[in-house]
Chains A and B, each alone.
Chain A
Amino acid sequence: MIYVLLIFWITSAILAIQARKLIRIIVYLAIFSTISAVCFFMFGAPDVAMAEVAVSSFSTVFMIVCFEKYFTLVTDVSPDAPKDLKFRYKLSKILPPVVFTLILAGLFIYFIPEGTVNTYLKDLYLERFRFDVGGENAVTSIYLGFRVYDTLFEALMLLISVVGVAHMSCRSEHEISGENFSGVTKSDSVDVYTIRIICPAMLIFGMYLVLNGHVSAGGGFQGGIAIASFFICRYLIYNVYDVRYGKIMSFEKMTFAAIALLASLFIFLGFYVQFPQIRTAYLISMNMLIAMKVSFGFIIIFYRYIAFERR
């Protein structure tokens, strides 16, 4: 059954690659991310699957708007060129990568390492995460305990990308204040009424994901995106841009500082070994801080792209 899902996955990926029109690429990309999330959790990576579901629905929108703004898709083959030339052109484009890939695949198949794979680190983590870090979810204890450097670096990456998006968009905040961005995306009353009903469900579900991150699947990132989607639905309801932009920006920087401070206090200064009774509090507060940071970052990126980049 899992192989059939993999075939679907590859098929949708090929569809998304070979489509020429942007609107088709979007739909195929949505199908691809839907199927890929199922594949992730069938292969036993539930947290990754949750992050994929959460990111795919937003990343598609962001990529679309970004491509529309900065980049138009043009092929360099004129349509009325002779067929022979077109075929040879295509062949000269396709053949070298195919040959290169075949050679690489042959090499990798030929030099398969013999014997069992060394899983020393995985066994160590799975054996000791309850005693060293705490919690029931091994993924959470890895990214908040054993590999906390990675978490800090990812938070820094998100901060840098948010700052970059904010500084690269061209219109100033003064220019768009009080403007109405209804345009085409004007919702009618049925949409607005139903979104108002399901908005609190999103907020409560995001909080549930954050607070239960150390017990079951979920965590800061996934819950943060669910909370951000609550504020994005707010845009769909009111169709106005009235977010205090600079305040959210400074809040995000402060949250990053808090994450760095908490992690360095607990992990590097050794509070973890001294006070084993507050480990759960550490995990929950770390997850909450990450969720706040992620949701602030996504709100900033969304409103920048939707409101500031609109022509």
Chain B
Amino acid sequence: MMEIVGNIIIGIGLVFMAFGVLGLYKFKDFYLRLLVLAKIDTVGAITFMVGIIIRHGFSFFSLKVFLIMVLFLILNPLTAHIIARTAYLSIEGITQDQDDGRGGR
């Protein structure tokens, strides 16, 4: 019974991640695409891990998964924050990424 519930929640997490992929291709602006990492992917991964915890019940394994989940909840939005901040500070760097075939930096 618990395994079926866990599998359903894992499926819901995968659906969230699929929405993220859709957004990655639908949004036209970089800052909009950053939403995928900051919110949607975090939610998807956390839902996935909750499903795995429910699958395994109360054990040492699920405690470790819970630890990873907490770390994820802290680190993933922070990563998005750092990418957004550095991208904002280098506003001219956003537009100048054409490969001119010459090399250099």
Contacts and interface: CB of A to CB of B under 8 A. Distances in A.
Classify chain A: how many residues form its interface, as a range: 10 to 19
A170 interface: no
A73 B85 contact: no
Interface in A152-191: 188, 190-191
Nearest to A197: B74
Contact of B102 (A20, A23, A24, A194): A20
Nearest to B82: A191
A191 B104 contact: no
Nearest to A190: B81
A20 B78 contact: no
Contacts of B75: 194, 198
Interface string B56-97: 000000000000000100110010011001000000000001
A28 to B, nearest CB: 13
Contacts of B71: 198, 201
Contact of A72 (B81, B82, B97, B104): B104
A21 B103 contact: yes
A22 interface: yes
A79 B82 contact: no
A72 B103 CA distance: 9
A79 B78 contact: no
Interface residues of B, number: 15
A73 B103 contact: yes
B104 A73 contact: yes
Given A79-B100, A188-B85, A22 B105 contact: yes
Contacts of B78: 190-191, 194
A74 B71 CA distance: 42
Contacts of A75: 102-103
B104 A79 contact: no
Contacts of B100: 79
A74 B101 contact: no
A279 B99 CA distance: 58
Nearest to B67: A201
A270 B12 CA distance: 59
Interface in A17-59: 19-24
Interface of B: 71, 74-75, 78, 81-82, 85, 97, 99-105
18 contacts: A19-B99, A20-B101, A21-B105, A22-B105, A23-B105, A24-B99, A68-B105, A72-B104, A74-B103, A79-B100, A190-B81, A191-B81, A194-B74, A194-B75, A194-B78, A197-B74, A198-B71, A198-B75
8 interchain residue pairs of minimum CB distance = A20-B103, A22-B105, A73-B103, A75-B103, A194-B78, A79-B102, A194-B74, A20-B99
